[in-house]
A and B are shown apart, each in its own frame.
Chain A
């Protein structure tokens, strides 16, 4: 009995330590990011109107990077946990492809002269994501239940179908619009619209809170759906709630920042290796780690080749892919 208590104490201590380390890292990364950029602003330099504006822009961009990185990681944790599949990531259910179709539609219609405003595209993208989620979920449903394998397959197929629609639209659009769609898809965290940032903040905060509140249920799902039902989890309802949570986070992230890959795939794996599979710790620590990872990637994206910027998706993939392969090899050797 004492041993168990000691183990629990030790785990709590470890979780607290991890939290302290992650929060400090996040603050440090944010500070470094705030004072790096194409425009030079010295740390001890008195601020004028212009440098204040620039620091403010950086601050909002840092906020978006942390929200999107953290959000995608939490979304990845939820989906990997529910689907019990290590290859799952926020884009696996076709949500992001749905968002892309929405975004592409807005660009094409805008180019056709109907309407184009700065915050119209994210709105379209989010609607695309939401409609896709509902369609996938309804399609996967069989007599009131949603078998997880059905959902996964439906999602993957819907994603493929929607991607082909994007390619179709791109191949029939004009040259300039075509280029911008591709750039949009690569992801960018520059934010010009305070309302959009607030929207992402609300969606990600609510989603992360929901994932944390239901972390015991996520732990139960890790045993298997049937086992979760045996220990009293209302599995159908929980699945609906958690998939909806993951999808809304993903939809809002993609709408604001485009499709930034790898964050939602590798951060949950990495954190599972460090803090273990308990979702009560995994959810918040993945949020922090994802925020740090994307913030570091984005800082690199905007400072490595000034005055040009590298699409942040390129950096996350360049850092993420080798790391993921390394982890897979390490895991398969065990």
Chain B
């Protein structure tokens, strides 16, 4: 009886505090959840972000709770957050620890657009922005649908074969089960590596030559040299269609390709643009 009373008291107190302050206190430990929160209009409620969070640019001035891979849990607790937004995979241990300490942690780990929409809804629900979340999801769906409609007008046999390079040494690519693969097919390309059977892997360099992609996208900055030059200069790769046609691109912002947030739509648009140039 006494215990129940105590719980009720704590609960009331917690509610009172939340409502008295009027605003939520949100800590976001990943760049993607930070972008989602801001897209839901929660920027002012964000009281702590990771050192990797850089979009929208204004979040850079927020309190830092450590890096993405090593969030500082003491710092998070001191910020007294109502909700902590994190990712389930890389931060599994940190999530577990924070939960043990009684924090309300929302881990999200989407691997496709449907999963991303669910994550947006979940974050919206936890932060009292259900309506905004539904709106954001509707907008994203609409953008994707318009790209799909555009793509469907091109005959499947005319769609470009695409090689997406995540890293050059060793060469790594994205296969089935990755966001990149879904983004490539949504944007109207055919991923030459969709038979690797795993989201990310080292890929056979000779198979890139054998499968002869029409477009090569580099998911990193090729830097000093031109992208086409750095790829075309590789031994054996000079005859690849994409290289000969100068269709090697490194100019898509990697954050719009790898960060599972609202800006992935920009990534799909950019891919579509490069595929049908």
Contacts and interface: CB of A to CB of B under 8 A. Distances in A.
A171 B237 contact: no
Contact of A38 (B166, B197, B206, B224): B206
A258 to B, nearest CB: 8
Interface in A162-176: 171-172, 174-176
B235 A308 contact: no
B168 interface: yes
A116 B52 contact: no
B201 interface: yes
A309 B170 contact: yes
Nearest 4 pairs between A and B by C-beta? A188-B170, A192-B234, A39-B210, A38-B204
A184 interface: yes
Contacts of A110: 221, 223
B113 to A, nearest CB: 20
A116 B223 contact: yes
B169 A307 contact: no
A100 to B, nearest CB: 13
Contact of B205 (A57, A118, A193): A57
Given A56-B236, A118-B230, A309 B220 contact: no
15 contacts: A50-B212, A53-B236, A54-B236, A111-B221, A116-B222, A117-B224, A118-B233, A121-B169, A172-B67, A176-B166, A178-B69, A179-B167, A188-B170, A190-B171, A307-B196
- Counting chain B residues whose Cβ lies within 8 A of the other chain, the interface size class is 35 or more
A87 to B, nearest CB: 29
A180 B204 contact: no
A121 B223 CA distance: 13
Contact of B67 (A171, A183, A191): A171
Interface residues of A, number: 44
B120 to A, nearest CB: 21
Interface in A15-68: 37-39, 49-50, 53-54, 56-58, 60
Interface of B: 52, 67-70, 90, 166-172, 175, 193, 195-198, 200-207, 209-210, 212, 219-225, 230, 233-239, 254, 258
A86 interface: no
A116 to B, nearest CB: 4
A270 B227 CA distance: 45
Main secondary structure of the interface of B (DSSP, over half): loop
A37 B208 CA distance: 12
Interface of A: 37-39, 49-50, 53-54, 56-58, 60, 110-111, 113-118, 121, 171-172, 174-176, 178-180, 183-184, 188, 190-194, 258, 302, 306-311
A190 B172 CA distance: 12
A308 B236 contact: no
A60 B203 CA distance: 17
B202 A188 contact: yes
Contacts of A60: 235
Nearest to B195: A307
A235 B200 CA distance: 51
B163 to A, nearest CB: 11
Contact of B203 (A113, A176, A308): A308
Contacts of A310: 202
A8 B80 CA distance: 82
A60 B237 CA distance: 13
Contacts of A193: 234-235
Given A57-B236, A117-B225, A118-B234, A180 B167 contact: yes
A176 B165 CA distance: 12
Contacts of B203: 307-309
A54 B258 contact: no
A36 to B, nearest CB: 11
A308 B219 contact: no
Contact of B235 (A37, A57, A188): A57
Contact of B239 (A38, A53, A114, A311): A53
Contacts of A179: 167, 172, 200
B169 A118 contact: yes
Given A191-B235, A309-B170, 11 more contacts: A53-B209, A54-B209, A57-B205, A110-B221, A116-B223, A117-B225, A175-B69, A180-B167, A307-B204, A308-B201, A308-B203
Contacts of B200: 179
A311 B166 contact: no
Contact of B206 (A49, A58, A175): A58
A183 B202 contact: yes
A180 B171 CA distance: 9
A241 to B, nearest CB: 32
A308 B201 CA distance: 6
Contacts of B90: 175
A114 B207 CA distance: 31
A56 B235 contact: yes
A66 B122 CA distance: 54
Given A37-B204, A57-B205, A58-B206, A307 B235 contact: no
